[in-house]
Amino acid sequence: MINDHVSDMITRIRNGQRAGHRSVLVTASKLNKNVLEVLTREGLIEGFEAAKDAQEHNALKVNLKYFASGRPVISRAVRVSRPGCRKYSRTEKLPKVSSGLGISIVSTSKGVLADHEARKLKVGGEVIALFG
């Protein structure tokens, strides 16, 4: 049984890209869907759609994105806040990934946002993951 769906999703995306897969299946959850929407909006994945896994459970099919050279767009994916140790950050202390070239995903009172969107709205929150 999976206790941390976001961590599992990040690991599946990272492993899928290292193996050169075009898409991966991840567990469907509201938070996973919101994180994938941010990744799509930021251009780190092609997109995602609802699907069923082998046991007919709800899942999300994530279409991975690669550069023309075949190198994956996401070079670094790290889970920051975990169920046992939550990490919160104020607006001015939100982490910058790769000197601003990457994004951190933040769960705020305004929804799940990329770090630059949270700074623009002047809201902080739980830092979910870093992508570079």
Q: Is residue 72 part of a domain?
A: no
- Kindly give the interhelix angle for 5-19 and 30-41, rounded to the nearest 10 degrees: 40
Instruction: Identify the H or E element spanning 44.
Output: none
Same domain (yes/no): 52, 12: yes
Burial class of residue 99, CB neighbours in 10 A (0-12, 13-18, 19+): exposed
Q: Is residue 69 part of a domain?
A: no
Q: Is residue 107 part of a domain?
A: yes
The CATH number that applies at residue 89 is: 3.30.1490.10
Domain end position, chosen among 18, 33, 64: 64
What 3-state DSSP class applies to 121? helix
What percent of the chain clears pLDDT 90, i.e. is strictly above it? Answer: 89
**Contact (CB, 8 A) for 48 and 63:** yes
**Contact (CB, 8 A) for 22 and 44:** no
d(C-alpha 69, C-alpha 18), whole Å: 14
Same domain (yes/no): 21, 60: yes
**pLDDT tens track for 52-75:** 988 989 999 999 999 999 999 999
Q: For residue 1, is pLDDT > 80?
A: no
Domain hosting 124: range is 77-131
Q: What does pTM read for this prediction?
A: 0.93
d(C-alpha 38, C-alpha 43), whole Å: 9
Q: Is residue 26 part of a domain?
A: yes
Q: Is residue 71 part of a domain?
A: no
**pLDDT tens track for 8-48:** 999 999 999 999 999 999 999 999 999 999 999 999 999 99
Q: Is residue 13 part of a domain?
A: yes
Output the average pLDDT for the chain.
95
What 3-state DSSP class applies to 71? coil
The structural domain count of the chain equals 2
**Contact (CB, 8 A) for 97 and 43:** no
